[in-house]
Amino acid sequence: MEREKKLVYHERQRLQFCLLHSLNNLFQEKDAFTKATLNAIAEKLDLQDPNQTSWTPLSVVFKSHHNVLTGNYDINVLIAAVEEKGKRVIWHDQRCGASSIDLNGLDDKLFGIVLNVPVRRYAGLWKGRHWIALRRVDKVWHNLDSDFSAPYPFKNIEEITEFLDGVISTGGQILLVMNGEV
């Protein structure tokens, strides 16, 4: 009897909650994280920040690590969230290129990849950044970009390496999510 193929979980983009969607896509679970849990992590980081700025009327919405209404969480929230799940984040040294990443993962150290890429929206009027998760499910790497209507399965290691090199060349960041705590 052939083993049943696992369905790939994929959340779609809503507002600026791409980090929330990326984390749920990375962990392949609908509520691995919620808006409330990420907001709580961001608030905790605000309280721990030794360089905390003074209160202004705008600071009710625009916090140090996120926007209360739309999301738009920063790297500190990503790292704290991943560490809560017993994983760790390693910033990939872009000088090495994507070929230095062990995508075959025979030792299962690499859990997944999170990308932070520059984006232009609204006919190029708005520039920002977007979080994207890549994860291997049933030995196939998938691009789980929440802007996509469905997960995109990479055909082979060469295709994902070429994609990651493209991310580097356009100013994107590659964050490796590793199994095992810090």
The active-site residue, picked from 65, 92, 130, 142, is 130
Sheet of strand 126-137, all strands in order from the earlier edge strand to the far edge: 87-91, 173-179, 110-121, 126-137, 140-143, 152-153
Active-site annotation holds for 18 = yes
**What span, in angstroms and rounded, lies between the C-alpha atoms of 106 and 104?**
6
Q: Which has the closest alpha carbon to 178: 73, 91, 77, 76?
A: 91
Active-site annotation holds for 96 = no
Active-site annotation holds for 102 = no
In this prediction the pTM is 0.81
Per-residue pLDDT reduced to its tens digit, 26-83: 999 999 998 889 888 888 876 666 555 554 444 444 444 444 445 577 888 899 999 9
163 and 154 Cβ atoms separated by less than 8 Å: yes
Distant-in-sequence, close-in-space partners of 1: CB < 8 Å, separation ≥ 6 = none
89 and 112 Cβ atoms separated by less than 8 Å: no
Tokens of 160: 């994902």
